[in-house]
Every structure is written in structure tokens, then in C-alpha cells.
Homo-oligomer: A and B are copies of this chain.
């Protein structure tokens, strides 16, 4: 089997996650690591026998042997990197959010389509086995009509005004922070799992810390919690710490969600509850192998992930037997496996594409507009 050669752009937390998952994907060889910091790139590459490192991604794009690239850099760099990669004929996996504006995201969608290249935005939460079980239960009609979707994505890593990360800075992360970074995961799953679309919403955003103490040296995502005192600069902040959205999915279905990076004690608390006319499902990322199924007329069910209990369409998302937990890293393995399989085939992608990433930008845009105007805002429909 000829390996598919790929490159990782970015050497931070996400870059390493992609590299490890790449090593676990059959038929894939990570052939280059790109990082602004040469040493960081080399350290990462050496341990995993990646033959080449570079500080200029454009050079890597010129390498004919590389067929695909993973973009794991700060949000504001996604657009140009993805654009250049597509124009160089590379398949692209891009971390979310796809870009920092709707227009950019639409340009990428169109470009990928013209080029006939595979494109993916990494909403990895879809790849927990019991999340796919939720989807398959809904598709099988087990939930009936979807009445209500609600939940939250709450973290605490930016609770203090001494917490800092490039995401806080709108120039690096875009105009929205909390909603873009984690709220986008929530809405992606809400639409993926229900098969419905958000049609209108009323949103309220809040920036509790309008000034934060920015360390003079850069801080890797989540690493702020481990730092001792540092040299700080008081820096104004224009991205939100918290968002709350009431929404409608068509004439019938109603929803509610919050996203927060300032909720003490919540480390990575993604919760989604979907209530149908026949049954309900709920999932909490902090207990990723568990699925709650609510019933009116019998006991509720709690599934501990077990391939023998999954519907056929969900089964291939679990590699391990019942009760052998599959975690965050494993979702990337599942995602990459499907992405790389699609390169060699003509099948329908079983992963979120740029058009899905662009969809999130549009919802985000409506959230920002609703917050600004204090009005209900319609979300543009999806045209196929």
C-alpha cells in the first residue's frame, strides 16, 4: 500500500494531537511538520520520525509528494493557509472555526469545490461512539419528532483576569471567542444530530473581564492554569467570555444553549439534551462513554459504550470493547480514518466539510448581530 503523505501546520496543543492521531491512522504518513518556531517543530518531528520540518508552510505546499495538510494554527491564519493549500492541490483538514468571517469561509468552500479536493473542519465531537449512537437513534425515528434541544459548553480555563491565550485576542482569534471556539462545536452537533437547521435566534454575550493581564510571553492553550506569576501587560479585551442563545429550528423545534469559559469547576463540560416526542437523548463530554436515553413510559436507559449495543451505523466509531473508554485523542483517529479513506474513494464524506464550517460562521454571525441589535435574527438557510 502506498502511503498518503500529509503535513501538520502548527506545533501547539492541537498540532501534537493531530500528529499522534495521524500516526494511528492506517495508510497515512506524516511527512512534514510546520511551525513558526523551528525548535518546537523539530522536537515534535524527531520523536515520531517525521522526515522534514519547516517554518514556511508554502515550501511544504510545493512538495508534490504531500497530498494533504492539517491546519492547527491560530484561527486568523486558517484562511490563507487553507486557500494556499487548496490552490496547491492539497486536501485540507482545518481546525475550527474554519475562518474568522463568513466571506472567507464561503471562498474556501467554493475553492475546494472547484479544485475537487477533500476538505474537512475538525468538529471532533461527532466522533465519540455514543454521539453517533444519538444520531443513529434519531435517524431511525426512535426519538420521534424533535421538540427541544438544550445544553451548554462550559469551561473554566479563562475564569481569572490573569488567564490569557491567543484566543482572547480578536486579531488572532477573530471577533468572537467563546462562541467561536466552543459554541461552534455545540451548534455543529445540534444540527448534525437532529438533522434540523437553526432558523432564528436571540443571543446575549458578555465579557466579564474587559481588561486582562496578558503575559509578555506567549501561552499555549490551556497552559495558563499551570503558570506561576509572570510579567503582565494590562490589555483590553473585546471577545466574549460567555454567550447565551435561545433559538428556533423551524416552526416546531425550540432550543437553548450557553457557552462559557468562566464557569468554575467545569473543565470541558459539553452537554447536549435532545427531547423528542417519543424519547430523549443526553450526553456529557466529561463522561464521554455514557449515553442517557429518556423515556416517558419505562425506565430511562444509560448506555456504557459497547459496540454490541450500538446501532450498525454507529458501530464502526468504536474500536474498543464495552467499557474500555475511548477519549479525546480517539475521536481524531476516527475522523482522520474517514477523511483519508475518502481521498482514495469517491464516496460521500462521513465528516464535517468546509460547508459545515462555513455554516458555523453564519450562525456565529447571527449571534453577534442579535447581541448587537438586541433582536431576534434569522439565520440564512442552507441551500444545496
Contacts and interface: CB of A to CB of B under 8 A. Distances in A.
Contact of A306 (B267, B273, B321, B374): B267
B307 A157 contact: no
Interface string A274-293: 01111110000111111111
Given A246-B245, A324-B328, A296 B264 contact: yes
Interface in A124-163: 147-148, 150, 152, 154-157, 159-160
A114 interface: no
A325 to B, nearest CB: 4
A150 to B, nearest CB: 5
Given A208-B147, A258-B256, A280-B263, A300 B298 contact: no
A232 interface: no
A204 B356 CA distance: 27
A259 B355 CA distance: 34
A23 B321 CA distance: 21
A320 B325 contact: no
Interface in A147-195: 147-148, 150, 152, 154-157, 159-160
A71 interface: no
A225 interface: yes
Nearest to A145: B208
Interface stretch (A43-51, A96-104, A345-353): A43-51
B266 A204 contact: no
B47 A148 contact: no
A250 to B, nearest CB: 11
Contact of A285 (B252, B275, B279, B325): B325
Q: Which of A279, A303, A307, A320: most chain B Cβ within 10 A?
A: A320
A84 interface: no
A304 interface: yes
A262 interface: yes
B280 A291 contact: no
Given A148-B263, A275-B262, A322-B267, A302 B300 contact: yes
A184 to B, nearest CB: 17
Contacts of A266: 280, 294, 323
A6 interface: no
Contact of A49 (B29, B299, B319): B29
Given A47-B27, A296-B265, A304 B321 contact: no
Contacts of A147: 206, 208, 242, 262-263
Interface of A: 1, 3, 13, 17, 20, 23-24, 26-27, 29, 46-49, 147-148, 150, 152, 154-157, 159-160, 202-204, 206, 208, 221-222, 225-226, 242, 244-246, 248, 252, 254-258, 260, 262-269, 273, 275-280, 285-309, 319-330, 374-376
12 contacts: A26-B48, A27-B47, A244-B255, A263-B273, A263-B280, A264-B280, A265-B279, A265-B280, A265-B295, A268-B324, A300-B303, A301-B301
Closest CB pairs A-B (n = 5)? A265-B294, A268-B323, A26-B47, A267-B323, A267-B322
